[in-house]
Every structure is written in C-alpha cells, then in structure tokens.
Chains A and B, each alone.
Chain A
C-alpha cells in the first residue's frame, strides 16, 4: 500500500481569499438585517410567528451565546410592527361580587381615557353629592318627611291623651315611658282620696286606664313600622336626589362610551351603587369615605396607548408572579389590605396580542412558573392566582379577578438539551411548543459567504460600538471563525465569541493608538485569550519537559506509541500526546484494556478495543485460533479515557508488541478504526496536532516529527501559523491516512503487505511477521495445553514473548 504524501501548507489551512472582500473597512459595509445561513431557523420563526392555530408556540434552540435572544427579538420586532395593536385591559370594581373584579376590554389607548373619566367622576361625586344633600331643597324634604312621621306619631298619642283627659285620667311621662292615673282639675288624685271612690267608680277608672294602656301600647308599637317607612322614604328621596345629581355626568359618559356596551353597563352599575350608598356621601364631614370612591376608579392593567404594532415582551425574570401578574397588598396599621386597584399585570398581560420571549432555563428554575405558563396556554385565559394560594398555604379571602382571554405567542429560548429533555419528559411540551426553530452552530464557508460574513462582522462591530475592521482583519477573523468551527468549509455562528473577540481587538487597537482594527489586533486578541487560558496547558508541557510525564519525540520503540488526546477545561481545549503501550503473549485470544479493567475507560473506548481485537482476529487468524493475551494501557493517565480516537494508535502499538517491530516515536497518531481496518474521522484534530507540535518544540526543536490523522479529517484542519511554518519548511509532516496499513508503514518503515492469493502475506512484510508471530503463539498454546493434559504443564502459564 502506498504511503500517503504529507499535507502541504495549503491543505492544513484554508486562507480567506482577499479578492472576495470588496471593501476597505467594515465602515463601508451595510448592516445585515437578518443573519445569513440561518434559513431553517428563520423559516421556522416566520411560520411560528404567523400561524394562528393554538399550540404553535416556538422553541428556539441553540447553544448559549449564539445570539438567539437578539436575533429573535429583532425578528419579532420587525414581524410585529405590521400587526394590529392589541386592546387595553382594565379591572373595575364588581358591584355584585366585590371580591371578583371585572375585566373590561377597550380599544388601544382608550384605557387611559376611561381611567381619567372615572377619576373625574369620582372627584365630582365627592363634591356634587354632598352639595345635593346640603341643599335647602333636600333639607326641606327630609324635614317634611321626618315631621310627617312625628305628626303621625303625635297624632296617635295626642288622641289617647285627649281621650284620657276627657275621662279625667292624666297621661304622664315617666323617664321610661308613660303612665295613667285618675285626675281632677289637672292634678293627679291622691291615692288615699281615690280609695274613697265607690267600687263602681274605681272599676270604671281602672277599666278605662286599662283600655288606654292597650291603645297606647298599640300606638307605640306602630312606631317601628313608621320609622321603617320613613327610612324607606328617605332612601327613596336620596336615590331620587342622587339620580338627578348623577344624571348629567353619568349621562355624558354614557354618551361618550356608547360604542362599548361593557363600559356603559359598568357606568350603570356605578350609578346604582352611588345611589345605594348615597348616605355614605352625606354623613361624613370630610366628604365621602375614600374607600367608597376608590370603588369607582379604574385599574388600567394593560395600556397600549404607546404601543406600535403587536407587543414584543421579554421577561428577564419569568417567575410565577411576573408572568401571571399579582395582587399586591398595602400595609395599614399592621394589617394587609388589598382591592382591585392593587392588581398588577404580568408579562403575559403585556404581551397579550403579541409575543412573549422567555428563557427556558430560567422559567424552569422558578417555582411553579412553568406549570403556570402551561396552564394558562392550555386554558387561553390569564387567571391571577398568588403563589401561596397555588400551594394551598393561604386561605384568606383575596381578590379573584375575572380571567382575561389570552392570545399570545410564547417564544422559548434554550439550548438543545433542554428541548430534547422537555420533549421526552414533559407530555405537555410538544402540545404547546409545536414549532422548533433550530439555530445553526456553523455557517457554510463558500465564495458567496465571505461578503455576507464580512457584513455580519460589520453589523456586530457597529452594534458593539467598536472600531471598524480593515479588510485584512476581517479576513483573519474569517479564518479564525473557521478554526472555531474546526472546519475549513464552515464558519462559526457563535455570536458571543465573535463579539468578545471584536471587543478585545478593539481594546488592543485603542491601546496601540490605531484608528481601526487591523490583523495584528485580531491576532493579539486571539493570542491573549489563549495565553490567559494556558496555565494548565503550560503545566502539562512542563511536566513533559521535566520527564515527569514520559513522552518520546524521537527514536524508535516497540510496544509504545504517541497517541493524541484533547482536554477540555471550561471553555479551553488543548491537545497533548499520551504514551500508549501494549504487551502481548500467548493466551486465550483476549486483548485486555487496562483502562477498562481499572474502570478508567469509558464505553466508547471499550468498544474501540473490542473492534481492534476482532480486527486482529479476522485479519491474522481468519480460519484459526487467535492465541493471544495482550494488554493496552494509556500510561500516566489517571483521569479516565473516553472515545475511540486512539484505536489506530492502539492497533499500531499492539501489532508492534506482537511483532517486536519498533515504532517511530517522532510520529503521533490519531484516528478511529473499524473492524475492516479503515481509518475514520475523529474530533479535535487541530488541538491534537498543535499539542504534539508544542511538545516536540520544547523537547529540542521540531525536526522531522509529524502526525498521522484520518484523511477525512483533513478539511477540519485550521492549524496555527507556527505549525504551518514548520510544515512549509519540511520540519513537521502531517499524513492523511485511510487504512491501518498506511499507519503501519509510516510508523515502522516496513511494507505492510497484503494477503496474497495463497492466503499468505508477502515475505518480509509487517503483516507476515504478525501472522507468523501469532502462529508461534498458537503453537506454544497448543504445547502448553498438551503439557497440562499430561499433568506437567507450567502452572503459571505465563511465558512472556513480548519484544
């Protein structure tokens, strides 16, 4: 098999063609209204924002820092601008059920007018009604009523008094009532003298007194009825007077609001209530009680007077109260009071008729907020309930405002994991969030995209208020965007990273007194970032330099190879070589993965070792028994190993261990391998190669070292300038491999050899040596089995043939 040629500088770095950038600085570029390369997401947004059917709320998913929030807000603002402004909503007092305030819908902007009208009416009531009650007319009529009652009472009593007088009986007033006694000449007769009366006279007097007492009793017992009658008549009079007083102002308001039947009905209810409470306006020296007048006020819950188009609301603290609104309380002398004027709108109220943007993670972390949002979206009504009532912790009487119909499009922003978890575990989720708007992480890098990406950078620079970038700086940024995407044919769409880089470059440009951001400032920003995050990487390199961590970068060694791994700590990724060793001896056809045995290896790594084990068996002992007991270990690795990117290296080192053929230590290997010996792509190739390069550099300079990587990974290479320089000068080589045999040939310098028609590998080929060595193992194995059968075998069964 032919050994692949080392990659050229042009293959390991995709430069930005300057001729595609047709501007001097980004100041000359127009803003990009919508991002490019996000067509799928934009179509989903357009669809989700436009569709009217219920449940078609949106979930915009993408990594954090991708600029979801800004994009969605901007898109919805444009989309909503052409939509109608939604209604205003007011809460007013419910005169039938005082704890259930009514909701009134008003055309946008008319809420303030109603509020002001009702406030004016309340002020007018405060003065006009007491004035009515103070009027001479009212006083006179009240007096007439009272006098009529008094007259009727007195008439009854006077008649009794006259009857008594006519019968010579005195009607006397006592502190508690009345009494009767016989009299003569206007004076009560002395009881002693009365005794001298004849029995007949006494009988007459006493029976008359008794009659009079009965009559008086009846007359007095009429009094409550008379009083009730007068109360009713006074109430009627009050109503009449208040009706007349209110006729003007309420009539005007009825006329003004005749286009809204709900307001007219409310005004009628106000009039009836004022009439009913007319006495309250009358009795208080300081005017009507404030509590009474407050009933006629309007709580303007949603005011869309200044809203243009449909509202787009972002709730940055989406807890239950902020979403659904709340009922506040006022503390007064140690007690808490509330009424309908203390009902406060939530963001759902404000977004009603428009769009509500929420962060999925935040709403999920707020108690009951997610459940409340779902309940409201299902019911299509916003019902304000306090959290303590939802939990059943409070049973005090509170306000229960009339629910307000809801027509809102909720847009949740979150990362993909949340979306998939919610889809899986929350049965309501997909019923309510049917539109999935998936953010692209990376954008295609082709000839058309350069100018658009440059405009995106220009837009970003302007919105972040940083200096303009010159053409070369944009080109460098585009190249770095490819590096961030780890792909020569992609550009990162990660908004935050680019913005941060621009801000840092702007800082360095300012520090150097430059008017614009140039390539050197972009490069400085990249380097500085890398330097700030390099402490652990430097520590790791130091360990290798001092020999604490054993890595060889020259010479040859059997059963030992440089694998490449990537470490990710926080947002920092860096690569470093790891020594992989192998041992082999006759045995029962097993390859021991020491990492796995020690529970330091992950399942994917375990799978890769099993694949390589099967590869060995099928390639070198297709018809026979594989009598091999081998082991593989990542030396000085204590933190666990995962992934299959070392399987090419592991195969090489295992074969080296079997054959005793040494491997070049100047080459590091990465790549995954399948059971057929084909090399497959892996991740983090840039970091891995740069990591090995750095180790070589500090171990005495780069001279003849290199790395093997899957050919399918070549288009992911965006290596740094230092590596590119070494490649250019031929000091460092990067080989793209497609099959394991290519790796063997590069690592050993031997021909790998393909199985011939006779079923054997060619003489002196590497594979021939492997096959022969394995055959030896088989022979040894058979001999041992025979010895064991004769009872004189090696008890340990251990004869290391490695090396």
Chain B
C-alpha cells in the first residue's frame, strides 16, 4: 500500500501527535491549501506530512481497452492509456513534492511526503491520528466547474478522527470575523471554541460565537464564554444565539457576521443533519471541523 516515504532529511518522520497533514493531488485547490497548511504548522510548531494518493480505481479503469477520457472543459473524447495516466500521475506527484518542499522550506518547517496507492479516504484515515489536523482543498481534480465540495472532503469531514480544515481562498470582507458555530445542548463545544479562539488570536481577528438553541439565550453561558475568550486573549468577541433553524438560515447569519473562517464541531447536530453539505457548500469559507 505505502510505496514511498520521503522526508527533507531522508529519515522516517516521527508519527505522533499534532501533525499537519496536507492532501496533495497537484490540483489548484490543493496547492492553495498547502500555503494555509504551512502557516498553521508555523503557529502550531508542527510537522507537516504531505499525502499523495494514486487512485487505484483510476489506474484500473485505464487498463480497459475501451477506456476513454472525456475532457472536463471541452467534452472531447480520447483514449485513456495506462502508461500515459501513470506518467501523468508521476508528474503530478513530483510536482506535489516540489511544491511541498518549496513552501515548507520557506517557512522553516520539517516536511515529508507520503506517496500511496489505493483509495484516498482509506489511505488518509490510515495515516491520520486524533491529534492531527488534516488540511485539504474543498475539491480536488474535479471536472465539475464551480463544484464546492468534493467526495473526499465530504467523507473525511465526517470520518476523520481529528480536526479537518477544508480550505478555500477567503474573500476579503469588511469584518473578517472568525465564527464558531455551536449547539447549546451538545458536548464537544469546548474543542471548537478552543480552535476558534486560537484562530482569532493568531490572526488578530474578531470572533463571533453562534449558539443554536431551542430556548432563548442563557446569560450565564454567554458570560462564561466571553470570560473564557477573554482569558484566551481574544478581545473582540461576541456571542449570538440562534433558533434551531435550517442550514440555509444558519448560512445567512454566518454571512451577516462577515465571517472569513468558520469553526464547527463534528458533533454539531447541523453537521449530522441533511443540511451538512448545504452548510459546507454555501458558506464557501475555510471551515475547520473539529473532533
């Protein structure tokens, strides 16, 4: 399964807590995420592990004599040959390696690239630990223009043991807020607040905590949260209570807040509901899904 492991110093990377795993496939979104991963790794003082997976299904499909590739933009059909595909994959892997090395070295980070062959989700789940942060683009090589959530991202957000950051290029907004989305009645909020506070502190951004609740706001909770955030060094913070509405209504509020980063817990009821995809697609922000 694992075919090669490369590191900057040629040694085996230390598998341990607190790594930043970056999924690379040579696509534009993955390269954009690479930069974000480097910055996060610098603030966390973490190692970076790049993962490049050769999709086994794709390699198999190229083995068929009748296999054709339909151009994603042109729609033109041409034969799909195994040797061409393999050489293209090797080239992408090399490109990923170069990009990783260049970006991480410029940030003074220790980095390694793991080349695997198999199914992407399985390979990543095999490599990631509960303390690791997975950073990935929202989409990979996607033939669908404008697609905002790829199949790998969709699965990893739910199944990864640790935090997952779905990266997308943030649009500059007037407020540039970090927004944390919580459920009043659920546990695991703490982790999301912690991650959100760290983001706001590191990026010197204001913070909004959105709490979905059936009842109206609990002053004690609000006070507690604000006190905690102040303790974490987040000066400009506010708490907003939301009714338990649909994903669309939450998305609207997130926009109203001028969010540029969103933090949400995997245990959040919204993520578990049908509207999870809506939330992830519509916000179109860098989203950190916490464990």
Contacts and interface: CB of A to CB of B under 8 A. Distances in A.
A153 B70 contact: no
A188 B174 CA distance: 48
Nearest to B60: A188
Interface stretch (A174-182, A256-264, A589-597): A174-182
Contacts of B64: 181-182, 191, 194
B144 A213 contact: no
Chain B CB count within 10 A is highest, among A136, A146, A174, A183, for A174
A467 B262 CA distance: 92
A177 B57 contact: no
A interface, by DSSP: helix, strand, loop or mixed? helix
A173 interface: yes
A170 B68 contact: no
A216 interface: yes
A220 B69 contact: no
Contact of B69 (A140, A146, A174, A183): A174
A176 B71 contact: yes
B interface, by DSSP: helix, strand, loop or mixed? loop
B144 A179 contact: no
Interface residues of A, number: 42
Given A174-B80, A188-B57, A220 B146 contact: no
Given A218-B75, A223-B73, A173 B68 contact: no
Interface residues of B, number: 41
Contacts of B146: 146, 149-150, 153-154
Contact of B60 (A150, A189, A219): A189
Interface in A127-153: 134, 136, 139-140, 146-147, 149-150, 153
A348 B146 CA distance: 61
A516 B174 CA distance: 82
Contacts of B144: 150, 153-154, 157
B57 A172 contact: yes
Contact of A177 (B60, B62, B69): B69
A218 B70 CA distance: 10
Interface in A181-213: 181-183, 187-191, 194, 206, 209-210, 213
A174 B85 contact: yes
A220 B58 contact: no
A181 B27 contact: no
Interface stretch (B9-17, B36-44, B135-143, B222-230): B135-143
Chain B CB count within 10 A is highest, among A173, A216, A217, A218, for A173
Contacts of B282: 147
B60 A213 contact: no
Contact of B147 (A150, A182, A221): A150
Interface string A486-523: 00000000000000000000000000000000000000
B57 A191 contact: no
A210 B77 CA distance: 10
A770 B62 CA distance: 143
A146 B147 CA distance: 11
B77 A174 contact: no
7 contacts: A136-B255, A149-B146, A174-B80, A179-B67, A187-B57, A190-B63, A220-B143
4 closest pairs, A vs B, by CB? Answer: A181-B61, A220-B75, A191-B63, A150-B146
Interface of A: 134, 136, 139-140, 146-147, 149-150, 153-154, 157, 170, 172-183, 187-191, 194, 206, 209-210, 213, 216-221, 223, 227
